[in-house]
Each structure stands twice: as C-alpha cells, then as structure tokens.
Amino acid sequence: MAGNEKVLSQIVKRALSGEGAHAKTETVFEGVDWNTAASRPPSAPHSIYQLLKHMSYWQNWVLQWLDGKDPAIPKHAASSWAPQIGPANANEWKQAVSDFHEDLKKLEMLAGTVDLLGRMGRTSRLRMLHTIASHNSYHAGQVVALRQLLGKWPPPAGGLTW
C-alpha cells in the first residue's frame, strides 16, 4: 500500500470508529438492555433498536457492494428501517448488536486492504467507505441523544459526557 493510500486508509478507519470525533461507534450500544433499546421518548422518530437495525442495514449493503455484488437500493427510505420498535427479547438484541459490530470490523478491515481509489462503476471505494462512516456517525449521535434522554448515558466503560 502506497504512502498516500495508507494515510487515506487510516483516515477512513478513524471515521468508521468515530475516534477523535465522538463516542466510539462500537460502544454507543454498550450497556443498553433490550427494553431500553425499544424505548422511544415522545417526539423521537426512532428507537435505539431501530437506529441500530438501520445502521446495520446500510453497513451490510456497503459490504455487499464492496464484495462486487449489486445490492438493490430500496425504493423508499422506510425500507431500510425496522418496522418493529424493539427486539422481541434480550437474545435478539444481543445478536443485533453483535451483527453490527462484526460488520463494522469488516468495514474497518477492508479500509486497510482494498484499493481505496479504485472505482466500482461511478463510485470509488473510498467514497463509499466515507459515506457509510458519515452515515454511522450521524446515527451514532442520535443514539447518544436518545440514551441521554433515557438517562442511560454514558456507557459502562465511559464516554463523552460534555
């Protein structure tokens, strides 16, 4: 990997992790139980569970795209959101968080191994990884705000509280 591409790789990995910008993306769900994940304060458009599932949907979409597949783009935004407010039980919540973490780790790994400047159709891998990092960052902030409203922030390991 050339010097410039190595720098780009490190930038993308930091963006995916949230490092240096906000709470780490991988920890925003830490310490949330399945009942809290299903809570939706008044006027909040989504629950923590719905945000997690939406973030996972698009992470998986990007992973498929990076694998050379041609995943369908939903006709309506609602198609990428879970219709149910929360998981059915603790195991479903635990699995959803685990799936999210696994896909995030795959994206971080790919950021260090794929040709970031190479194009797939009209889009570069770098652009797609930047897009999913920005998407996760936006929704991670929503998760933190919901957790604050629910009195469930910071996570057990600590987190930004200012």
In a domain, 157, yes or no: no
Dist. CA 10–CA 43, nearest whole Å: 38
In a domain, 7, yes or no: no
Dist. CA 69–CA 84, nearest whole Å: 28
In a domain, 70, yes or no: yes
Query: How much is the pTM?
Result: 0.93
Task: Report the sign of the C-alpha dihedral through residues 132, 138, 140, 143, in that order.
Answer: negative
Cβ count near 81 (within 10 Å): 16
Quick one: pLDDT at residue 98? 98
DSSP state of 46: S
Quick one: pLDDT at residue 5? 83
In a domain, 158, yes or no: no
CATH of the domain at 39: 1.20.120.450
* Count of the separate structural domains present in the chain: 1
In a domain, 121, yes or no: yes
Quick one: pLDDT at residue 156? 86
What residue numbers bound the domain in which 121 lies?
A: 14-149
pLDDT in tens, the chain (162 residues): 567 889 999 999 999 988 877 888 889 999 999 999 999 999 999 999 999 999 999 999 999 999 999 999 999 989 999 999 999 999 999 999 999 999 999 999 999 999 999 999 899 999 999 999 999 999 999 999 999 999 999 988 776 655
Quick one: pLDDT at residue 160? 61
